[in-house]
Amino acid sequence: MPDMPNPVAAFIVGEIRRARGAAGMTQEAFGRGAGFSASHVSAVEGGTRAVTLDFARGADRALSNGGLFERLAMKLGAPSWFLPWLDAERGATQLRYFEPNLIPGLLQVEHYARAVLRTVDSLTDDEVEQRVKARLDRQAILTGERRPQFVAVLDEAALRRTGDGLGGIMAQQVAHLIALAELPHVHVHVVPLGSGLHVGLSGPFALARSAEGVWVGHLENQLGGDVVDKDDDVATLQARWESVRNEALPRRQSIDLLKEVESHHGPQ
């Protein structure tokens, strides 16, 4: 389920914590009723793990309050599928992105980002430009003072995509990837075309590790995306990350392949 925007989330968490205390429930007892571990409850109440609508519904079950917290969440702010992930991304010490079809947003150049966003025909020109700006603004985390270790695994097919005037854009995009991949905190790995079928072809995903050591994931889909923070689900994404990372070339060989692809696309 989508997460709630931060101001709403902070309010809901505070009310859940107060209601739990008023009911005389420990975090363990509350967690049993809500369907979450005591450590998960502690992390949500302590602000190190995102609160989801599933958690609010679990709190309603544990406290038998007729769906109060879910109604508050829906009334006080429309849930946003991306805001909580942006918070995790901004505060991460490590970021891992796997993308089989496109270049990850944090690595996109302006023209590539615009071309990708224009494929959504329901967006107006102004909306496309707003989203391009927001995407480029996000990239500041890779050059700021507290830069995370960033590891991206891309599919070679995404690098070789052509047509509809993409040649020049892709040459610029690949050159940008090469420049980023030479930075000590950025690692770009490419899954070669000859690797065949692998688990990552099921879809893109990302993982972020907070300063407290807590991992959360993000899954994209045609309707938006979901933040993943349940222990078992995060463990599944970690295992899939290891699988796709093992399919990719080492760092230096990946850079060599990027340079070969750049020459294929021709001059910028």
Q: In the prediction, which pLDDT does 83 show?
A: 57
Asked if residue 148 and residue 45 are part of one domain, the reply reads no
Asked if residue 156 and residue 36 are part of one domain, the reply reads no
Structure tokens at 112: 């590539």
Whole-number Å distance between alpha carbons of 114 and 26: 50
Q: What is the mean pLDDT of each run of 10 residues along the chain (268 residues)?
A: 56 91 95 92 80 84 91 61 72 93 94 91 86 88 90 94 79 95 96 80 89 88 76 93 94 95 73
In a domain, 139, yes or no: yes
Structural domains counted in the chain: 2
The CATH number given to whatever domain includes residue 218 is: 3.30.870
In a domain, 172, yes or no: yes
Asked if residue 193 and residue 159 are part of one domain, the reply reads yes
Whole-number Å distance between alpha carbons of 159 and 171: 9
Question: Which domain covers residue 64, as residue numbers?
Answer: 6-76
In a domain, 107, yes or no: yes
Asked if residue 245 and residue 127 are part of one domain, the reply reads yes
Q: In the prediction, which pLDDT does 90 show?
A: 83
Asked if residue 204 and residue 136 are part of one domain, the reply reads yes
* CA nearest to 5, candidates 79, 92, 91: 79
Asked if residue 88 and residue 16 are part of one domain, the reply reads no
What is the separation, in whole angstroms, between the first and last Cα of the chain?
A: 42
Q: In the prediction, which pLDDT does 1 show?
A: 35
Q: In the prediction, which pLDDT does 102 show?
A: 92
For the range 210-217, what are the long-range contacts, defined as Cβ-Cβ under 8 Å and sequence gap of 24 or more? 210/48, 210/88, 210/91, 210/92, 210/93, 211/91, 211/93, 212/48, 214/43, 214/48, 214/49, 216/49, 216/50, 216/85, 216/88
In a domain, 1, yes or no: no
Asked if residue 176 and residue 106 are part of one domain, the reply reads yes
Q: In the prediction, which pLDDT does 194 show?
A: 80
Q: In the prediction, which pLDDT does 265 show?
A: 77
The last residue of a domain, from among 42, 76, 110: 76
Asked if residue 99 and residue 65 are part of one domain, the reply reads no
Q: In the prediction, which pLDDT does 224 show?
A: 66
Asked if residue 113 and residue 31 are part of one domain, the reply reads no
